Amino acid sequence: AQTVTQSQPEMSVQEAETVTLSCTYDTSENNYYLFWYKQPPSRQMILVIRQEAYKQQNATENRFSVNFQKAAKSFSLKISDSQLGDTAMYFCAFMKHYDFGNEKLTFGTGTRLTIIP
C-alpha cells in the first residue's frame, strides 16, 4: 500500500515571500501521478498542480512549482511571491497510474499554510 507523509502540520510566511511545503511518499510502483491540492477556508478541494512520474521535468503552474525527486520519493511544492489568498490547507496526494479502474488518491495529512500580511 502507498503512504504519503507531510511532516509539516503548520507553516506561516510573510506575504510576497517564497515557501516550500514538503511531501514524501512510499510506493513500489514505477508509474504514478502526484498532486497537490489546496483547501481554503471554504473547504473546496482545488487542484494546484500535478506531476507524472515518468516525466523528469518538474511541473509548474504560474507561482507554483514542484521539486520531484523520484529516487528519493520526494515531491515538494514551492509557492513564490506568496499571496493572502494562498492561505489554506495543502494536501499532497498519490495515485497509481493503473489500479484496475479504481485509481484512487492516497492523501497526506495536510499542511496548514498561513500567509501573514
Q: Give the cell for residue 12.
A: 506561516
| Residue choice 41, 43, 56, 117 for contact with another protein (CB under 8 A) | 43
CA 65 to chain centre: 10
Candidate list 7, 12, 14, 44; residue touching another protein; CB under 8 A: 44
Q: Is 113 in the site for another protein (CB under 8 A)?
A: no
Tell me how far apart the alpha carbons of residues 86 and 72 are, in angstroms, rounded to a whole number.
27
Torsion sign across C-alpha atoms 94, 98, 99, 101:
positive
Least distance CB 101 / another protein (angstroms):
5
Give residues in contact with another protein (CB under 8 A): 4, 33, 35, 42-45, 47, 50, 91, 95, 97-98, 101-105, 107-110
